[in-house]
Each structure stands twice: as structure tokens, then as C-alpha cells.
Structure 1
């Protein structure tokens, strides 16, 4: 009797037919981007780059569709993790999580000290702006602000898809990227330092290294009043920032930062 031939293996298909189509969500969190790429800033791009390295099949594209359709019910960015609930094709929504290792207090102290020593970073952060070269400060103290690979950003989802990231995790990541666009301080929160704590620590360190200044609120009544003749400055300057360096203390501060340092980013742009 001739041997029986094995039936050819059925090709792998990325589908779960028993679950059907996704269940629509009312008042879900929908991505602002309706077409093309999601994420506009350099920091959201750095975050999504890790996700794209892990992309499996068409899951990233389907995750983008989920994000735009509002399938994510809730999302929270906490120290060490992003947690979200995503509605799929089952009646019960899935729980998705994107983790990251938080920096120890000693590491954050080193970062805050580096911020405080550089008036550009201090003035920018205290003014509510995250500089484009923020990563350089972390690198200088031996840290990486963003994950350098998949092992540093563990992900899990309660859905039956074995791939990481699945479309539910991808949807969450795209929404996180938009959150980072809106508030880059959330990146620091994800790494373990919320905005209020970071700025409070930075102010304390600036008070230690900076000159004594008067809060702006205490001098508003005479802010526009002439204070006498301008002092003599040094010789020719090679760049606009040197004008600030030669300027005597103004005796005015905002959130503990001398007014001259708040003006420095503007002078740098003029000089450029």
C-alpha cells in the first residue's frame, strides 16, 4: 500500500475569524491625524521609531486605523508604564501596556543638576518649553531618554494575538505619540519624573547657583519706569549673547530665573 501523502500546510493568515469585526466605541480617544503619519515632533518620532522596528505584518497600519477610529477607551501615562483599554472584536475590551524602566532618584538628581548649570535649559524648561537637544543632557550623565530597543520597552496585551506589538498596542502607541506632541513633559513623567517635581528641583538648584533676584510681581509697579542712565558695557561683541553677559543684573526674575537668562534663547535666535 503506497504511503499516504501529507496535506500541504495551510499558509499562515493574520486573522481571528471567530471574533469578527471590531466593535465601535462611542466617545473613544481618536487620533487627531486623519491620514499619513502620526506624530509631528522629534520626540514622538523617536518614540515611534522603536515601535516601527518591531512592526509585524500589517499590524502597525491596523493599529493606526484603530487609533483614528477611536477604539482606545482610556489611556494613562504613568511613571514606568502606559496603560490603556482598547475595544477590539470581543465584547470585553483588551488591556494594553507599554512599559519602560524609570530612572532612579540619583539619576534624576544628576539630570536636574545638569539642567541647572546651563541657563538655556533652565530657562526653557521653567518657561514650559522642552529644548530640541534635551537628549544631549541625558546622554551627558550616561542616560538614554528614549528606549534604544525592544528590550527596554516591554509591551503586553490581553488579546489573543501572539505578536508584539499587536494592533491594539500599536493604536495605543500612536496616541501616546500625539500626547508627547502636546506635552513633551509626559516623556519625562514616563521615565519617572513628573513636571511639578522636576521644575521644583530645578528651581531649588537654580537658587543655589544663581544670583539673588527680585520676583517680577514685586516690581511690576515700576517695571516701565526709567531707572537712570544705562551703564557702560565692554568693547565690541562677537555674538548677541555677549550683550547679555555684559549686562548688569536686572534684579528681576520669573519663577526664580534671572530675566537675562529668560532673554537668552531670544538673543540666540537673533544671533542665528
Structure 2
């Protein structure tokens, strides 16, 4: 046994990574990982920043469930990824957090049109949010290399290494199913953001309006009306089988493969019966 710490010892080579029981994996067994425009945009931005060309190194890790744990918080994604060594590697991906002044501008802009909140709650990120943030000189996605930091405890000097790349894939798929993921990284989780939007709308009430709630009988004719100038929320731009990504993988198998993969064509056929 060497007296040197594990990270200073020679790397384990010549074999597959150690299997992880119940590890976090992406659901896409083949083909593109991103299923929504915003996760595809996230991966495209990484490509522009010189990261995307090396992401394929971690695809097999992401598909085989080598990620032991993954936590998303303001400014950072922290994960443990199991490689060939006994000790999992610690991975950290950092994204610059918006400051209080910047978030104040974002909250005012989102609260001015309740359609954005409705869209987020329905599970989608409207493309118009990019234009809105551009007007505030902000970007939901990493805007430059300095906006994104990457670190892994493995001995590989290449950035991203396969452990970082695997976490990027899992993060992109998490963005598919939870549109608040990128907003959390920028500094506001789902509950905090919705609470601030409610407070912002309440503070913007017309002071000349009559005090107290209006009688229900006076509201029935316009009960279903949205805010002036707002558009109705559109359904999430996701594949028909996206719900399969949000349920635990059943223990049942289908022809030797995963049951959820076998069910995806069925969901597509039900969504497009005339296709």
C-alpha cells in the first residue's frame, strides 16, 4: 500500500469503470440527449465555448449510470463520479450567479407578464425569455468561458475530462425535465423565484383600485381572461414520451432492453395517430 494519497498515485488503467448500483444515468440510450430547445441550446453553447467537442468522452459514463450523486445549487453543480479507482472523483461545474440588482431586474421583467411564470410552471422555457434577458444584458446560458468553471479531482489534465462530460450530459437532461435548473444555477431556486414573482406582482397593484377583493359575481364574465397583453401559455415543447424520463426505471425488461425505451414508440403513436 502506498503512503501517497489516492489522487497522487498512478491512475487505474486498462479496464472499465467500477459499476455503480443505482447510479444516476441519462435516459437516452442512443441518439441525441437533449429533447427540448433549451437543453439543446445549453449543449450548443458548450460547443461554442470549446467544451462540446469533447463531451462525447463522457457519454458512456452518463448512459451507464457512473454518477453516484449530483446536487444543483446557486452557482454550482457538485457531483461524485465513479471511475476505475475505488474512490469516486469529485466534479464541480460553476456558473456565475446573478447579483441582487440583476435578479431584481429579472424578477420585475418576469412579473410584468404572468405568461412567463405560467410557461415555467407548465414545464417549458419559452424561447422569448432569451430576448427578454438579452434586453437586460444577461444570459440564461454561459455567455463566455469566464462564465463557466470546471474542476475534477481525477488526474486527467484534459478539460473537460470524461467525468465532467458525463455530468454535463446529466445536467442537460435534468434541464429537460425541470426548467428551473438553469435559473437555480443563476441564483434562484423554484420556490424562491415564484415567491419573489408573487411579491413583485402584489407590489405592482394599482393603488387607485378599490380596497378589498371584488365580489365574485363581478368577476365571472372575465374569470378566464389573462392579463392585458399576455399570451396563453403553450404546451411544453417535449417529446410525447418525456414523462418516461420522470419515473423510476421499472425492474421489468422488454426483450432484454429497458421497458421505458420499448414504451417510447407507443407514446409517439398515441400522440400522433395519423402519422
Q: Which residue of 1 aligns with 2:13?
A: 19
Structure 1 residue 116 displacement after superposition? 1.7
Matched, 1:131 2:97: no
Conservation of the 8 A alpha-carbon contact between 1:98 and 1:156 = yes
Matched, 1:141 2:136: yes
Larger Rg: 1
Conservation of the 8 A alpha-carbon contact between 1:67 and 1:174 = yes
Q: Distance in 2 between matches of 1:268 and 1:44?
A: 18
Match of 1:169 among 164, 171, 174: 164
Q: Distance in 2 between matches of 1:56 and 1:136?
A: 24
Q: Which residue of 1 aligns with 2:83?
A: 88
Conservation of the 8 A alpha-carbon contact between 2:226 and 2:232 = no
Q: Distance in 1 between matches of 2:52 and 2:201?
A: 47
Seen in structure 2, the aligned counterparts of structure 1 residues 51 and 162 have a Cα distance that, compared at 3 Å, is: same
Matched, 1:45 2:64: no
Matched residue of 1:265: which SS? coil
Q: Distance in 2 between matches of 1:18 and 1:128?
A: 42
Matched residue of 1:159: which SS? coil
Matched residue of 2:226: which SS? helix
Q: Distance in 1 between matches of 2:110 and 2:50?
A: 33
Matched, 1:204 2:199: yes
Match of 2:189 among 178, 194, 197: 194
The CA RMSD over aligned residues, in Å, is: 3.2
Match of 1:32 among 27, 32, 51: 27
Structure 1 residue 61 displacement after superposition? 2.0
Matched, 1:77 2:72: yes
Conservation of the 8 A alpha-carbon contact between 2:120 and 2:180 = no
* Partner deviation per Cα, 1:62-96 (whole Å, 9 max, x = no partner): 30111001011111111000010000111111011
Seen in structure 2, the aligned counterparts of structure 1 residues 161 and 140 have a Cα distance that, compared at 3 Å, is: same
* Partner deviation per Cα, 1:187-239 (whole Å, 9 max, x = no partner): 10000011111111111121233467959xx96xxxxxxx69xxxxxxxxxxx
Q: Distance in 1 between matches of 2:139 and 2:100?
A: 15
Matched, 1:113 2:79: no
Q: Distance in 1 between matches of 2:221 and 2:120?
A: 21
Q: State the TM-score, normalizing by the size of structure 1.
A: 0.71
Structure 1 residue 122 displacement after superposition? 4.3
Structure 1 residue 49 displacement after superposition? 2.0
Q: Distance in 2 between matches of 1:249 and 1:130?
A: 31
Matched, 1:260 2:226: yes
* Partner deviation per Cα, 1:156-196 (whole Å, 9 max, x = no partner): 10111101001110000000000000001111000001111
Seen in structure 2, the aligned counterparts of structure 1 residues 34 and 138 have a Cα distance that, compared at 3 Å, is: same
Q: State the TM-score, normalizing by the size of structure 2.
A: 0.70
Conservation of the 8 A alpha-carbon contact between 2:34 and 2:176 = yes
Conservation of the 8 A alpha-carbon contact between 1:29 and 1:72 = yes
For structure 2, list consecutive stretches of 5 or more residues without a partner in the other structure: 1-9, 236-275
Match of 2:174 among 173, 176, 179: 179
For structure 1, list consecutive stretches of 5 or more residues without a partner in the other structure: 1-15, 220-226, 229-247, 253-257
